Amino acid sequence: MTGVLPSVGDGYCYYILMDDCTYGSKYFQAGNMCFCSERSYLRNFPDDRPPACFLKVVMLDDSSTVTINVEILEPVREETAVFLLAVSSHNERLNYFLERLSLEAALKATLGQKVMVEVDRQQFPGVIRYIGSIHKNTSSVLSPFFFGVELQGEGESRGRSDGSYHGTEYFKCKRNCGVFLPFNRVQFTPVPDNDYAKQKAKPDAEEVVPVKVGDAVSFYVDEALTKGIAMAVYREGSQWFVKVCPEEEGTTDIFREIPMDSVVKESLLSQSLFLPYEPDMGLGHPKQSKREISESGEDCESGNSSLEVNSMVQITLDKGNQVSGIIRWLGYLPQIKHKMAGVELDEDKGVTAGEWLGKYYFHCAPKRGLFVKLQSCQPDVRFQSSHNSDLNLMDYRDQEVLPQVLVNFPPLRNEAAVRVLRGRMKGIQGHCNSCYMDAALFSLFSCTSVLDSMLFKPFPLCDRNVQNILRDEIVNPLRKTGFVMARSVMHLREQLTEKGQCSSFTTAEKDPEEFLNLIMQQILGIEPLLKLQSGGQEEQDCYCYQIFMDKQEDLVVPDVQQLVEHSFLSSDLKLVEIPSCFIIQMPRFGKEYKMFSKIIPSLELDITDLLLDSPRECCVCGDVATLECSECFKDKMFAATGLKQFCSSCSKQVHSHYRRKAHKPTRLHVPEEFHSRSPRGSQQVPREKMELFAVLCIETSHYVSFVKYGPENEHWMFFDSMADRHGDENGFNIPVVTLCPEVAKYLDLPVAALALEQPRDMDGVAKRLFCDAYMYMYQSKKMALYK
């Protein structure tokens, strides 16, 4: 941050964040804006002592008060801040603040000025009729400024108002001829009407020019062949010139202006592309060219207006070779008129790590970054359906004129879950053996918030990227639109490969627990979900619990409650505390062999008797238990579920039987408040129960998931990230989410009847839930509040 006092309006100083930052559990992207009082500023930056390193500010988006390092704050004048605040995207806001040209044009704009505006992704002529706030009675210290524009010509009737907004009239025009827009959707230098057709035809005439901006070229200097890149192409009279930045000039600002006839194009890339130098050339900023190529950039921005940051694209290089990647940055580069895209490629076929002329616009691995004209980017056909526009979910932008605050979306429940998630091209799109991750992520985040701490808990900077991808590219799109592109999951897999030091996360088949252990423990470092103790030994921490048990002849069709109890008893385990999330892996031997042909999902898991040092209830009389007997657990005379613990008197009576005289009950710890003697059964032991929210299933190495989206037994949905496919090798997978209320029918069946059900005869996808269960996920909503 510069050391001068920023301009102050109404006693406030305004700033824009130049880098991402966290404060407690909150995360703020670069481009967020904030303010502090002039008094606070002067108190932190007095003249008689060194300035403070941190400044307490109020964020303009959510009014939260945070303390931020002054190094990432850049002062903004109030007259500039009001226009920036109208841009809803933080990334775009920062780009326009850095680019300055559009912002300066907005500051100079006047009523009556002719402009071109963007409406429904098309450009229309119009006239500025109003400049100012359209927010009335707001409590915010600063209101964003919008441009009220009257559409003209072919833009008539394409607007949304008659000059009024929310009942307040700001200007007058015909119905549906008025729009209110932020400055970034207004072009302040429109082409005069009488020259419009000529100017539109001009790019066609310029196509004959053999060298274009961005071409790699060669030329001779003192009989030595020199290579460089064309930074500008212009004409003086009838002579064409190329402004070239030679490789040999190193970090200087020297550019050579060479006649077109003396330059040979290297044809390393197609003419439509514009690539920077390798980052190690260290180019400085170009000097101002005599004349820039003009109008060809206009068409390029209208051609692919649906593309935005995080869109998956394909780019054609020289000789028709295609590369694929994801847009990480959009904006304008110094001295380049065209709108550019910074693309992170899938392969090492780039030329940069996100740097251009010494400045980083995004970050990626070396040789993975590429800067190209936005015009050169085409949507990746592998991840969208061309024959159905409803499947094109690349663009999540709202078309409202009001600025949209970036918010985090809650999990979907009941009708909202059905409305958003059900259908084809819904859920998480599978790609290249990703089903284990797709099913796990859908289960954990679509309809529950039990592990949302993974999305918001502050972590070291080196791991923040993984958290950002998980939250902003996967969970929020899933909860907002019901769809996550395969490229977003691949981006996460690439990060896991790097962080987990495992080269196969992007390609190989994995198990869900391997993914969950890696991201929870090694990368995000969240607190272990389970704390266990075995036989009085030291506590053991884990994130997923694997059931281990011998084959039980009397368990033909067990439920999850029985399996957990058998496993805990055989391993002499206890839960040290109530978990917020209990992830249980079913007993299996590899992916082929299942110990049980069917397992009944326990909709509730009673863990009361699995807790260490927790009050227990006598299984005979209901009084407080003081003794537990593992041998009685196996006795068929008792109930099929529940560990067997007794009060003193019941234990004597039970073990007086000749078959149980050899049993050796163990004494239980009874909490102090339960020690006092009271009438039998008067001290009710609280039951601790967890509810089932998702089940992962596997068949022939393919994972799918069932998610419970509502309170009723019928409220289940089935998700398959690779349910269908469009095209062949170059096609893409179609994820599908369907409702499966038929599950309730089998949940209500008696165990004997369910055992007789033939899997092939079971309705719908119920067979998958009962016969292919791999992992059950339970939650304690009470404990989730504290985790």
In contact, 119 and 52? CB cutoff 8 Å: no
Helix (H) or strand (E) holding 26: strand 26-28
Q: Which of 431, 491, 566, 702 does the annotation list as catalytic? A: 702
Give the C-alpha separation, 452 to 548, whole Å. 29
In contact, 469 and 491? CB cutoff 8 Å: yes
Give the C-alpha separation, 176 to 150, whole Å. 9
Where residue 244 falls (left for φ over 0; alpha for ψ -120 to 50; beta otherwise) is beta
Give the C-alpha separation, 26 to 16, whole Å. 17
Helix, coil or strand: residue 764 = coil
Helix, coil or strand: residue 421 = helix
Residue 502 falls in the annotated catalytic set: no
Closest CA to 494 of 371, 732, 328, 330: 328
- Tokens 């030994």 belong to 537
Give the C-alpha separation, 415 to 709, whole Å. 9
User: Is residue 687 exposed (0-12), middle (13-18) or buried (19+ Cβ within 10 Å)?
Assistant: exposed
Calculate ∠ Cα 149-150-155, nearest 5°.
110
Closest CA to 574 of 537, 546, 612: 612
- Tokens 């470092």 belong to 525
Give the C-alpha separation, 220 to 227, whole Å. 9
In contact, 490 and 418? CB cutoff 8 Å: no
Tokens, residue 308: 């935005």
In this structure, the dihedral spanned by the alpha carbons of residues 393, 397, 401 and 405, taken in order and rounded to 10 degrees, is 140
Q: How far is CA 366 from CA 330, 348, 576, 584, in A?
A: 19, 8, 47, 40
Helix, coil or strand: residue 16 = strand
Pairing mode, strands 545-546 and 581-585: parallel
Closest CA to 374 of 332, 345, 334: 332
Helix, coil or strand: residue 425 = coil
Closest CA to 642 of 660, 622, 661, 656: 622
Residue 435 falls in the annotated catalytic set: yes
Give the C-alpha separation, 261 to 242, whole Å. 10
Q: How far is CA 481 from CA 90, 320, 416, 419, 423, in A?
A: 20, 35, 11, 10, 12
Q: Give the chain's end-to-end CA distance (angstroms, integer).
A: 37
Give the C-alpha separation, 282 to 20, whole Å. 25
User: Is residue 664 exposed (0-12), middle (13-18) or buried (19+ Cβ within 10 Å)?
Assistant: exposed
Give the C-alpha separation, 565 to 579, whole Å. 16
Q: Which of 13, 34, 300, 435 does the annotation list as catalytic? A: 435
Give the C-alpha separation, 246 to 719, whole Å. 55
User: Is residue 732 exposed (0-12), middle (13-18) or buried (19+ Cβ within 10 Å)?
Assistant: buried
**Which pairs from 351-358 meet CB under 8 Å and 24+ separation?**
351/275, 351/276, 351/277, 351/278, 351/279, 352/276, 352/278, 352/279, 353/279, 354/328, 354/329, 355/276, 355/279, 356/276, 357/276, 357/283, 357/284, 357/285, 357/286, 357/333, 358/282, 358/283, 358/284, 358/285
Catalytic residues: 435, 702
